[in-house]
C-alpha cells in the first residue's frame, strides 16, 4: 500500500492517480475511516490512562467507601475500554482493507490511458517473420506433431488445461535451463518456490485472493491459495524482516508452476497455450534501495531482451498505460514477441513483463532496511518474467515452423535439446 500518512498531504495527486488508472476507489471514504480510527484510538488511549490512574490510586491506603468507588470506576472503565478496543480493531481492519485498494503512484513517464491500445511501443527489434506458405498457429502445429494435447487436457482437468508431449517436453526443459543460465549469469540466486502461499502474502503483494474478479485459485478452508506467479512467493520471502543494507540488492529467480483462473479469457487471441489455467514460469525478483530501483528495472528489461533476442525472435517493448499497470506497479514494460499464427497475418503477443513496484509491496509486507543514518526505510521491490514457458513455446513453434509442418529448434536451444527439429512421427 501507499504511505497512508500522505492521504491528506498528497490528496490531489492520489485522486488524480486513481482517475488515471480508471479505478473505482472512494478516497474520501477512506480518509473518513482514517479520521474515525484516529478518534477511536485517542479515546482508547484516554481510557487506558484512566485505567492506569485508577489502578495506581488503589495502591494507596484508602477508606472503604473510596476503595469501593474506585473498584466500581475500574469496572466501568474496563467495560468501556473493551468496547473501544473491539471497535478500534474493527475499524483498523476496515481501514487497512480499504487503504490497500489505493493503487501505487504511477511514474510520470507512464502513458496515461485505459486500455492496451493506450500503451506505447517504444522499441522494435528484429523483422516479423512472414512465410511463403500459410502459417499455422501453434495449436495446429502441436496437434499435427503430437506434442500438444488439449482435448485430453480438457477431459481430465477442464478447459484451458493441456498435455505437453514427446519432444515438446524436452523443448520446454531446454527453455527453462536456457533462461536460468542467463539469469544466473547476472547474479540471480535460483529458487524452486512453493506453489501455495498464505492469503496474507497475496494481499501484501497486491493480489486479490477473493471476489468475483479474482484471478486466484483459493484452497477452501486453509487460508491459502495456489500462486499465479513466483512473484508472490519470492516477494513474501523477506516479509516482516529488516534486511542489512550491505546485503542489498538481493536478486532472486524462482521457477514455479503458475495457476490462474483467467475468468473471461476467451477469443482467438486466448486460444491454445497463450492463456491457460496452469503453466510454468521463471521469475526474476529484486529487493533494493529506493535510489537504485529505476536502474534495476532497466536491468531486468535488458535481461528479458537478452533471452528473447537470443532465441532469434522479433519483438517490441511496450511502456504500459496507467490503466493497465496493476495496482502495485509504478511503471511496467512488456515484451511482445511476433507470433505468425496470431490473427490472419500474425501479430505481437505479450511474452514477458517487468514492474517496478517501489515500496508499495514492502509497506504491506513490512520489509525494511536500516539506512546509513540509522533510519528504517522500506525497500523497493521489482519483478520481471525471465520466461513464461507456455507463451515462449507459442512464439518458438510459430516462428520456427516449416512448410512441411515440422518445427526447427532455435540454435541457442539445440545443445540443450539434443535435436534440431521436431518432425511428424
The sign one gets for the Cα dihedral 270, 271, 274, 278 is positive
Residue 328 contacts by C-beta under 8 Å, 6 or more apart in sequence? 103, 104, 205, 206, 355, 357, 360, 361
Residue identified by cell 485430453 is: 152
* 421 annotated active-site: no
Active site residue 391: yes
User: Is 179:386 a contact under the CB 8 Å cutoff?
Assistant: yes
Residue 107 CA to residue 86 CA, distance in Å, equals: 39
End-to-end CA distance of the chain: 54
Catalytic residue among 21, 37, 100, 275: 275
Task: For the chain, give the longest Cα–Cα distance.
Answer: 106
| The one catalytic residue among 176, 304, 350, 398 | 350
Q: Measured between alpha carbons, how far is 92 from 285 in angstroms, rounded to an integer?
A: 31
Is 260 an annotated catalytic residue? yes
One DSSP character per residue, 37-96 reads: HHHHHHHHHHHHHHHHHHHHHTTS---HHHHHHHHHHHHHHHHHHHHHHHHHHHHHHHHH
- Indicate which residue of 21, 100, 260, 368 is catalytic: 260
Angstrom distances, CA of residue 308 to CA of 388, 391, 393: 11, 12, 12
Helices (H), 311-388: 360-365
Helix axes 389-399, 167-185, angle to 10 degrees: 110
For residue 314, the tally of other CB atoms under 10 A from its CB is 21
377 tagged catalytic: no
With CA atoms as reference, report the closest residue to 308 among 249, 377, 389: 389
Catalytic residue among 353, 355, 364, 390: 353
Backbone CA torsion sign across 199, 200, 201, 207: positive
Name the residues annotated as catalytic: 260, 275, 350, 353, 391
Amino acid at each position: 500500500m501507499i504511505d497512508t500518512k500522505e492521504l491528506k498531504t498528497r490528496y490531489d495527486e492520489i485522486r488524480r492517480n486513481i482517475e488515471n488508472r480508471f479505478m473505482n476507489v472512494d478516497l474520501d471514504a477512506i480518509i473518513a475511516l482514517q479520521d474515525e480510527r484516529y478518534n477511536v484510538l485517542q479515546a482508547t488511549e484516554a481510557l487506558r490512562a484512566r485505567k492506569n490512574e485508577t489502578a495506581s490510586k488503589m495502591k494507596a491506603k484508602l477508606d472503604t467507601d473510596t476503595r469501593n468507588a474506585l473498584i466500581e470506576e475500574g469496572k466501568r472503565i474496563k467495560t468501556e475500554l473493551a468496547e473501544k478496543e473491539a471497535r478500534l480493531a474493527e475499524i483498523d481492519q476496515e481501514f487497512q482493507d480499504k487503504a490497500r485498494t489505493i493503487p501505487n503512484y504511477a511514474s510520470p513517464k507512464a502513458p496515461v490511458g485505459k486500455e492496451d491500445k493506450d500503451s506505447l511501443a517504444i522499441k522494435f527489434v528484429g523483422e516479423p517473420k512472414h512465410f511463403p506458405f500459410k502459417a499455422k498457429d501453434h495449436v495446429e502445429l502441436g496437434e499435427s506433431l503430437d506434442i500438444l494435447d488439449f482435448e485430453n487436457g480438457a477431459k481430465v482437468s477442464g478447459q484451458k488445461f493441456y498435455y505437453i508431449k514427446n519432444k515438446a517436453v524436452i523443448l520446454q526443459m531446454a527453455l527453462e535451463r536456457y533462461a536460468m543460465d542467463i539469469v544466473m549469469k547476472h547474479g540471480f540466486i535460483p529458487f524452486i518456490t512453493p506453489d501455495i502461499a498464505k492469503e496474507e502474502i497475496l494481499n501484501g503483494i497486491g493480489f486479490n485472493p477473493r471476489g468475483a474478479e479474482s484471478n486466484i485459485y483459493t484452497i477452501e478452508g486453509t487460508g491459502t491459495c495456489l500462486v499465479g506467479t513466483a512473484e508472490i512467493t519470492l516477494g513474501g520471502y523477506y516479509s516482516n524482516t529488516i534486511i542489512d543494507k550491505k546485503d542489498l540488492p538481493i536478486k532472486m529467480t524462482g521457477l514455479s508452476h503458475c495457476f490462474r483462473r483467467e475468468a473471461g479469457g476467451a477469443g482467438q487471441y486466448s486460444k491454445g497455450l497463450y492463456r491457460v489455467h496452469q503453466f510454468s514460469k521463471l521469475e526474476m525478483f529484486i529487493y533494493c534501495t529506493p535510489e537504485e530501483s529505476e536502474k534495476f528495472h532497466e536491468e531486468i528489461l535488458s535481461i528479458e531482451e537478452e533471452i528473447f533476442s537470443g532465441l532469434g525472435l522479433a519483438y517490441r517493448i511496450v511502456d504500459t498505460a496507467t490503466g493497465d499497470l496493476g495496482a502495485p506497479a509504478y511503471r511496467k514494460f512488456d515484451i511482445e514477441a511476433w507470433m505468425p499464427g496470431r490473427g490472419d497475418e500474425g501479430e505481437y503477443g505479450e511474452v514477458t513483463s517487468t514492474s517496478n513496484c517501489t515500496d508499495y509491496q514492502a509497506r504491506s509486507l513490512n520489509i525494511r532496511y536500516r539506512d546509513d543514518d540509522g533510519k528504517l526505510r522500506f525497500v523497493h521491490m521489482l519483478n520481471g518474467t525471465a520466461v513464461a514457458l507456455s507463451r515462449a513455446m507459442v512464439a518458438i513453434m510459430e516462428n520456427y515452423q516449416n512448410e512441411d509442418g515440422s518445427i526447427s529448434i532455435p540454435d541457442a536451444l539445440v545443445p540443450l535439446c539434443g535435436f534440431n527439429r521436431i518432425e511428424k512421427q
